[in-house]
Amino acid sequence: MNDAFLFIAFPYAAITLAVVGTIYRYFNYRYTYSSLSSQFLENRMSFWASVSWHYSIILILTAHVIATILPPMWGVLLANPFRLYFLEVTGWALAILSIVGCGMFIVRRLMYPRVRAVTTKMDWVILIVLFAQVVLGLLTAVMYRWGGLWYLHTAAPWLWSLFALNPQADMVANLPLIVQLHFLNAFVLVALFPFSRLVHILPYPITYLWRPYQVVVWNQRRIQSGKSH
């Protein structure tokens, strides 16, 4: 019963909440589809945190997506020992980089009062859940080696069974606790998605690729004391 709730009911509930909540927010609070950047309040740490986080997490998610939607191709890719070792070490490095980036986001909001003032409770929740997710991912990779291979026979079939509306909880029910927490925490993020700043990834500014450059002209008035006009 617990396995059915954790690995069947909960994922479906999280996906439903994410879809319904995202649609509702789009039609009722469309102008909140923004990351609401606080970069102008503090830029230096924001830059390094953003670069570390975004580049690493995009590559990590890309690997997960490819392994899930194209398991035969992923299996062929990892069939070569050198490629397997290379991807394993690269995954560790990217996980560490993502932890550093997410940690810097947290530290930045703690260090700078102006940034902390514009940080909502949901921002803190998302940062903590994201940090926990990347830490769990690194622990999974370090403690249970060659995850790229066993992922093809556990998580990938389980996810496909969910999308096919024929859920098979037994595929992940016997995995180690840390691995299960990594999977479940991912669906926690899915459930929180429509209530957070993460929605800014949906309206990707694709028009930036072809629109003309935007010219910004500064207009500053210089006031000289004691000078009459």
Q: Tell me, yes or no, whether 220 lies in a domain.
A: no
pLDDT for residue 118: 81
Give the amino acid at 131.
Answer: F
Residue 220 has pLDDT above 90, yes or no: no
Sequence-ordered list of residues with C-beta below 8 angstroms from that of 1, at least 6 positions apart, any chain: none
Residues 159-201 pLDDT 10s:
999 999 999 999 999 999 999 999 999 999 999 999 988 887 7
- Residue 110, domain CATH: 1.20.950.20
| pLDDT confidence bin for 1, thresholds 50/70/90 | low
| pLDDT-wise least confident of 8-22, 48-62, 143-157, 214-228 | 214-228
Q: Model-level pTM?
A: 0.82
Q: Specify if 54 maps to a domain.
A: yes
What residues have CB less than 8 Å from 130, skipping those under 6 apart? 102, 189
Q: Is residue 90 part of a domain?
A: yes
220 or 131, greater pLDDT: 131
State the chain's mean pLDDT as an integer. Answer: 86
At 45, is the secondary structure helix, strand, or coil?
A: helix
More confident residue, 45 or 75: 75
Tokens of 138: 């690194």
User: Is residue 23, in this structure, part of any structural domain at all?
Assistant: yes
Is residue 227 in a domain?
no
Within a domain: 222: no
DSSP character for 5? I
DSSP class of residue 223? -
Give the CA distances from residue 109 to residues 16, 21, 41, 63, 126, in Å, rounded to whole numbers and listed in that order.
31, 27, 11, 30, 13
CA–CA gap between residue 149 and residue 170 (Å, rounded): 18
> Quick one: pLDDT band at residue 227, thresholds 50, 70, 90?
low
| Domain presence at residue 215 | no
Residue in the block written with tokens 């580049």: 55
Structure-token match 């926990």, residue found = 132
Average pLDDT over residues 70-77: 91
Domain that holds residue 164: 2-209
Amino acid identity at 145: R
Q: Position of tokens 């459930």?
A: 191
What is the tens place of the pLDDT at every residue in 81-110?
999 999 999 999 999 999 999 999 999 889
Looking at the predicted structure, is the pLDDT value of residue 35 above 70? no
Residue 50 in contact with residue 101, Cβ under 8 Å?
yes
Q: Measured in Å, how far apart are the chain's first and last C-alpha atoms?
A: 82
Q: What share of the chain is helix, strand, coil (3-state, %, to 5)?
A: 75, 0, 25
Structural domains in the chain (count): 1
Is the pLDDT at 223 greater than 50? The verdict is no
Per-residue tokens: 110:
């703690």
Report the range of poorest mean pLDDT among 66-70, 75-79, 84-88, 220-224.
220-224
Q: Is residue 156 part of a domain?
A: yes
